[in-house]
Amino acid sequence: MKDYYKTLGIEKNASKDDIKKAFRKLAHEHHPDKTKGDPTSATKFKEASEAYSVLSDDNKRAQYDRFGSAGPGMGSSGGAYGAGGFGGQGGFGGFNAQDFSGFDFSQFTQGAGSQGGVEFDLGDIFGDFFGGGRGRGSRGQARQERGRDVSVDIQITLEEAVFGVEREIHVTKSSLCNICEGTGAKPGTSMKTCETCAGQGKVNETRRSFMGVFTTTRICDECHGKGQIPSEKCPTCRGEGVLDRQQEIIAKIPAGIDDNQMVRLNKMGEAIAGGISGDMYIKVHVKPHAFIRREGFNLTTDLRVKLTTAIIGGEMNIKTLDGDLVLKIPEGSNNGDVLRIKNKGVPNDHGRRGDLLVKLVIEMPRKLSRTAREAIEKLKGEGV
Ligand SMILES: [Zn+2]
Ligand SMILES: [Zn+2]
């Protein structure tokens, strides 16, 4: 007997919310769009959908808990689901309307909306059920495929964050084959018309469901929508047009970037045959600086000042990200006073820099020599 709870990775006493969350997560993970039709994922997606359709329905769940079956077609034998599965040859055919009613789509849209993100797109699910794996035929049109996004973490210093930096990044990812330049054809050979789609680049599929019969169009798997296939395959990529290889990418990190911000490099993600490449996301981690902190577009630092300098003023050398500067300490400075050095902070999007704020920490002498003590006594006599 199938353990629907195990399938969704939840406890027997899981709440409806837990069930929904678990399913949403699995559906997302094993989504045919993401897994490129990987059969293991397709099976998992199907199993998760089956488990969800039972456990999300109070009546079916109760029946399943008691009898290990949720009614006709829901049994352990596989029943209606075994026939072909979603997106497979049988498509949605095995489903009957009654089973489908257990699948509450309205809850999904609500759920996704309330989380403030389109984590779970209703259209995607429909597309996969009715249109079959690749290409998403749900809206009646074939969509161009897109490679996966790639994300990379890098660490930079505060100086690099303030002034910007170029980083060389090495990633191994699916890239266009550099021998055939993505065509998949052996260099010097010609292309021929794809037989699968008769050069159309797309194929029509007719599907039946309780909602009626409809025709969907999807991108041809054979030629990836191009209508042409190589007459002789490129030996390097075996005709795929893409292959995994290591690439060096120069990433420009813009001046002013903050810790945990992302830089997106358009179309630098994984390449996909006949489609457009995904994007690369570079997550930037800024190492804490020894004595300078960032506060918005300002930088702050502490400066230790001798008591005498605080009293009568003076000039002090100060280390900044722009190098050493001379700072004028005004007469009569107090502990905690903040001096502002203009335009030595962090640049904003328009290149305008914030300020460097220098907080004075006035050092009290621990011990006084006799002469010093006499001098201070004198000051005391003057009422200072
Ligand atoms: Zn090639
Ligand atoms: Zn084709």
Count helices and strands in the chain by DSSP H and E runs: 12, 15
Rounded Cα–Cα distance for residues 339 and 301 (Å): 10
Distance CA 6, CA 260 (A): 36
CB-based contact 343:325 (threshold 8 Å): no
Which-ligand-closest: CA of 243? Answer: 1
Residues with CB under 5 A from ligand 1 (ion): 177, 179-180, 234, 236-237
pLDDT of residue 110: 32
Interval between CA 192 and ligand 2 midpoint (Å): 10
Going by C-alpha positions, the residue among 229, 241, 232 that lies closest to residue 199 is 229
Examine the pLDDT at 351 and tell me if it is beyond 70. yes
Long-range (24+ apart) CB contacts under 8 A made by 118-126 are 119/24, 119/28, 120/24, 120/27, 120/28, 124/31, 124/33, 125/27
- Beta-carbon neighbour count of residue 334 at 10 Å? 8
The mean predicted confidence, pLDDT, of the chain is 80
Higher pLDDT residue, 348 or 89? 348
Q: In angstroms, rounded to a whole number, what is the distance separating the alpha carbons of residues 305 and 310?
A: 7
Instruction: Tell me, in angstroms, the distance from the centre of ligand 2 to residue 277's CA.
Output: 20
Q: How far lies 238's CA from each of 129, 144, 273, 277, 303, in Å?
A: 31, 22, 12, 19, 64
Distances, alpha carbon 98 to alpha carbons 60, 70, 73, 209, in Å: 11, 12, 10, 12
* 229 Cα: distance to centroid of ligand 2 (angstroms): 7
**Beta bridge partners of residue 185, listed in sequence order:** 233
Cα–Cα distance between 359 and 300 in angstroms, integer? 7
Report whether 192 contacts 231 (CB < 8 A).
yes
Between residues 40 and 366, the one the model is more confident about? 366
- Could you report the per-residue pLDDT of 159-207, keeping only the tens digit for each? 999 999 999 999 999 999 989 888 889 999 988 999 999 999 889 888 7
For residue 232, report the distance from its CA to the centre of ligand 1, in Å.
11
pLDDT in tens, 112-170: 333 333 333 333 333 334 333 333 333 444 567 889 999 999 999 999 999 999 999 99
The predicted pLDDT at position 123 comes to 37
Beta strands in the chain (DSSP E): 150-156, 165-176, 191-193, 202-209, 212-219, 228-230, 242-253, 262-265, 280-286, 292-295, 298-306, 314-320, 323-329, 338-341, 356-363
Tell me, letter by letter, the H, E, C secondary structure of 264-305. EECCCCCCCCCCECCCEEEEEEECCCCCEEEECCEEEEEEEE
Report the 10 Å Cβ neighbour count for 184: 26
> Residue 184 in contact with residue 239, Cβ under 8 Å?
yes
pLDDT of 268-302, one tens digit each? 999 987 788 999 999 999 999 999 999 999 999 99
Q: How far is the CA of 204 from the centre of ligand 1 (A)?
A: 29
The answer to whether the CB of 42 falls within 8 A of the CB of 129 is no
pLDDT at 326: 97
Tally of CB atoms within 10 A around 170: 9
Task: Write out pLDDT tens, residues 76-121.
Answer: 333 333 333 333 333 333 333 333 333 333 333 333 333 333 333 3
Q: Which domains are present in the chain?
A: 4-131 (1.10.287.110), 150-286 (2.10.230.10), 292-381 (2.60.260.20)
- Strand partners for 240: none
**194 CA from centroid of ligand 1 (Å):** 18
| Sequence-ordered list of residues with C-beta below 8 angstroms from that of 281, at least 6 positions apart, any chain | 149, 150, 151, 152, 262, 263, 264, 265
Centre of ligand 1 to C-alpha 229, Å, is: 13
For the full predicted model, state whether its pTM sits above 0.85. Answer: no
For 207-249, how does the pLDDT look when each residue is reduced to its tens digit (9 = 90+)? 777 777 778 888 888 888 888 889 999 999 998 889 998 989 9
What is the model's pLDDT at position 107?
33
- pLDDT at residue 253 greater than cutoff 90: yes
Type and span of the H or E element at 149: none
**∠ at Cα 150 (148, 155), nearest 5°?**
170
CA 368, 374, 376, 380 dihedral sign is positive
Percent of the chain with pLDDT over 90: 48
